[in-house]
Structure 1
Amino acid sequence: MPQIITRRAGRRGPRRFTPRDLAVLGVLLGIPVLLEIGLIWGPTVASVGLSFTSWDGVGSIHWVGTRNYHDLFTNYPPFWRAARNNLLWLGFLGLIATPFGLLLAVLLDKNIRFSRFYQSTLYMPVVLSLAVVGFIAQLVFSRDQGALNAVLANTDNPTDWLGDPSLNIWAILLAAAWRHTGYVMILFLAGLKSVDPALKEAAAIDGASEVQAFFRVVLPALRPVNVIVVVITVIEALRAFDIVYAVNHGRNGLELLSVLVTDNIIGEASRIGFGSAIAVVLLTISLGFIVTYLVQEMREERKS
């Protein structure tokens, strides 16, 4: 009898992988890793290296050091307009669209009537690409046949929402925020559904109002979702390209760093080294915001 127990107990040890198991694991893990390296990290490292060179994509590559960055910061006026627009994009999505998406999530979490219909309607723009959103923006903000001027009965002297450089960036930001709000709303709504109701009840028993309970109890519990939303917002703001390119090819007030990268790399100039320098600057800005936020969140988590 003791021998049988010993044998059964021995069978409960860790199972060794057979060569077939190792081969399957190698394929399932190796293919995604190779795709990640080949499609993301490989081009990223190549862009960093090419940013210090002069190359037209056909001839030989010439090392120029930091000359591309010097020309970018001193002799290329579109860069500063594009950088300003990208930061404006980030601020608009982060300070207006994201909080509004959170507000909609909080309202829909109360199980109001027709909440499913509202969720579907508000999420619908997310399934559209930014290029399609750009075409919709043209239908709404067009000077001569746009819906907005028709609603405002502004036909005698119509406002050129997309042609005026002082107005078009705000019109496009509204269109981008329309899509971003639905995305953020769904993420926050999923997070709110996972919050333990006992936390809200305990806050109510302690005398906290609904607003106080949200900011002191619910919102800290949404920290994992907050990290995801911040990262997505930064990425969406700094990689924006399709919507402005669909409107006017990213010119006349709608310059963005992503458009400048495309114009320099695949445009008539074919300045791959210079375009790579712009891409590296864009990558640095993105990582700067994301890493700073993640470090701050980890410090707060350690304190708590």
Structure 2
Amino acid sequence: MRNRNRATALAGGDRLVVALMLGIPTLLHVALVWLPALASVGLSFTEWDGIGGLADIHWVGVQNYVDIFTHYPRFWPALQHNLVWLLFLIVLPTGFGLLLAVLLDRRLRFGALYQSVLYLPMVLSLALVGFIWQLVYQPDQGLLNNLAGLHVNWLGDPDINLYAVLVAAGWRHAGYVMLLFLAGLKAMDPALKEAAALDGANSWQTFWRVTLPVLRPITIIVLVVTVIEALRAYDIVYILNKGRNGLELLSILITDNIIGEASRIGWGSALAVVLLAISLGFIITYLVQVFRREERS
């Protein structure tokens, strides 16, 4: 009887521990993520300078959205830059990261060293990455101009500075993508490749017909992470030139309107909602297509 009561007490204590371990992070997540997000949606329909209480908040409906789309000249260039950023990360760093993962999966000599070196930029914060590449891109004493014998203002020229920053962002992103794909390749059953080889498939055919389909769950994660990284990009651009002169991004506009000199909480919240809608649009559309393909197969 005592042993049964003791087991019941332990079970009850375990339930309490599990409830605390799940409940506290959930409450923090709701309080720090979802409630501010819902508050931003509500504030996007208001006019408020951030000073005063609730009485100073004035309802304006969808006027903030109308003004952003029609009377805010910085919005459309910023949106275009974010889409270019997204397309670049999906095509080049993601493809390069997949290539690196495939090469490292072949158990090259010093493979662990290569993996650590390639992943190292991901350990660095985007602010530090921006500082490093600021030294590389300096027009007079920069590493790139000195090595190439050029006199290019990489960050000051609005025609090229976006692509220069994309190289820096891609340098960091490729290592993360490589690690995700490499984890998927390590978990892959070697018998699948052996069966493909017995059927006469070459390396290229094995990759497209066996390896890539097996990596589909990892590919979904990589694309979702890439969309989030591209649309929330802020640190590296702000460090390089505060998001001006050709480097405007939606995240920069949100910050400028909420905590800038002319504090417009309603406008900033509306921009944040637009950015959230674009992010969810990309992610949901891709996930729906993937799940439909899986159901058909």
Instruction: Report the TM-score, using the length of structure 2 for normalisation.
Output: 0.94
What are the equivalent positions in structure 2 for 1:219-238 lying under 5 Å apart? 219-238=212-231
Q: Residues 39-79 of structure 1, C-alpha deviation per residue, up to 9 Å, x if partnerless?
A: 11111101001000001111310000000000000000111
How do residues 159-178 of structure 1 correspond to structure 2 at under 5 angstroms? 159-178=152-171
Shift of 1:144: 1.0
2: distance between equivalents of 1:135 and 1:25? 43
How many residues are matched?
Answer: 288
Residues 114-139 of structure 1, C-alpha deviation per residue, up to 9 Å, x if partnerless? 11111011000000111111111111
Q: 1:93 aligns with which of 89, 99, 111?
A: 89
Instruction: List per-residue Cα deviations over 1:131-168 (Å, max 9, x = no partner).
Output: 111111111111111111101112xxx11111000010
User: What SS is found at the alignment partner of 2:108?
Assistant: coil
**Equivalent in the alignment of 1:272:** 265
The Cα shift of 1:271 comes to 0.2
**Equivalent position of 2:234 in the other structure:** 241
User: Can you give the 5+ residue segments of structure 1 that lack an aligned partner in the other structure?
Assistant: 1-10
User: By how many angstroms is 1:199 displaced?
Assistant: 0.5
Instruction: Give the residue type in structure 2 aligned to 1:35.
Output: L
Match of 1:263 in 2: 256
Q: CA deviation at 1:24?
A: 1.9
Query: Aligned ranges for residues 113-262 of structure 1 at < 5 Å?
Result: 113-154=109-150, 158-262=151-255
Change (3 A) 1:200 1:18: closer
Give the equivalent residue in structure 2 for 1:5.
none
Tell me, in whole angstroms, the C-alpha distance in 2 between the residues paired with 1:25 and 1:119.
Answer: 37
1:284 counterpart = 2:280:
no
Unaligned runs of 5+ in 2: none
What is the TM-score of this pair, normalised by structure 1? 0.92
Structure 1 counterpart of 2:75: 79
Equivalent residues in 2 for 1:1-16 (5 A)? none
Q: Following the alignment from structure 1 to structure 2, what is the Cα–Cα distance between the partners of residues 81 and 25?
A: 48
* CA-atom RMSD in angstroms: 1.4
Post-superposition offset of 1:17 = 8.0
Alignment-mate amino acid for residue 185 of structure 1: M
The question of 1:34 aligning with 2:27 is answered yes
- Determine the structure 2 residue equivalent to 1:3: none
Q: Quote the Cα distance in structure 1 between the aligned partners of 2:72 and 2:130.
A: 27
Q: Note the C-alpha offset of 1:102.
A: 0.1
- How far the C-alpha of 1:18 sits from its partner, in A, is 4.6
1:107 partnered with 2:103: yes
Letter of the 1:202 partner, please give it.
A
Correspondence for 1:56: 49
Deviates more, 1:25-34 or 1:244-253: 25-34
Question: Residues 117 and 21 of structure 1: is their aligned pair in 2 closer, same or farther, counting only changes over 3 Å?
Answer: closer
Q: How far apart are the structure 1 equivalents of 2:159 and 2:76?
A: 16
Percent of aligned pairs sharing the same letter: 65
Aligned equivalents of 1:81, 1:143: Cα separation in 2: 25
Structure number with bigger Rg: 1
Q: How far apart are residue 207 of structure 1 and its match? A: 1.1
Give 1:19 deviation, angstroms: 4.0
